[in-house]
Chains A and B, each alone.
Chain A
Amino acid sequence: DQQVKQNSPSLSVQEGRISILNCDYTNSMFDYFLWYKKYPAEGPTFLISISSIKDKNEDGRFTVFLNKSAKHLSLHIVPSQPGDSAVYFCAAKRGGSNYKLTFGKGTLLTVNP
């Protein structure tokens, strides 16, 4: 039973355009969401997060949108750069000081020059 789903295994985008990565969750107890980025032969690195009390969080070229009613979040990268090519993992956790992250299976983003 996958509680965090990333239905697109891969996405290809032209440099300079917008990349939109999607994530759906089923557990209504999740109230904090994170995106991690992973290059080959490296571990995942934290990118951006959002609390359920917000619907948007922005950090430079990266923006995460949360739609709680739809149990859906998305990561927008604008403009996309070739260095953004990586696997992106969506993760979720329950409230308070809960440590347990539930990850999606990831989406491979390729940004073509």
Chain B
Amino acid sequence: DAGVIQSPRHEVTEMGQEVTLRCKPISGHNSLFWYRQTMMRGLELLIYFNNNVPIDDSGMPEDRFSAKMPNASFSTLKIQPSEPRDSAVYFCASSLLAGVNEQFFGPGTRLTVL
């Protein structure tokens, strides 16, 4: 079975550009999470969806960040406009039942904003 799929794996962009990260969760999983990993702050939760509905977006750093889940098999995290301090590895994770079952992580997208 395929795990969580993320694209692109690497993204290099210039400050001010729009960036869209994509995630396909494991089929049948009801919960989806977006995380960001930086040296300073480690791995932190940005937003959590349950059954395609955003439940907790308290970790989204600014209005420049937005996330959508139009259906059970696809989610996007968008940064507009991007800034150098957004450079990080962004992980998507999914689980069958949030809080009960383990979270399965994708391979991550390494974003570099110049």
Contact = CB atoms under 8 A, between A and B. Distances in A.
A42 B89 CA distance: 11
B96 to A, nearest CB: 12
A55 to B, nearest CB: 21
Interface in B66-114: 91, 93, 95, 97-100, 102-108
Contact of A99 (B48, B91, B104, B106): B48
A100 B105 contact: no
A41 interface: yes
A46 B43 contact: no
Nearest to A2: B42
Interface residues of B, number: 24
Interface in B7-54: 31, 33, 42-45, 48
A101 B34 CA distance: 12
A96 interface: yes
B91 A43 contact: yes
A46 B105 CA distance: 9
Contacts of A46: 102-104
Interface string A9-24: 0000000000000000
A33 interface: no
Interface in A81-102: 89, 93, 96-101
B24 to A, nearest CB: 13
Nearest to A94: B99
Contacts of A97: 97-100
Contacts of B44: 103
7 contacts: A2-B42, A41-B108, A43-B107, A46-B104, A97-B97, A99-B99, A101-B103
Interface of B: 4, 31, 33, 42-45, 48, 55-56, 91, 93, 95, 97-100, 102-108
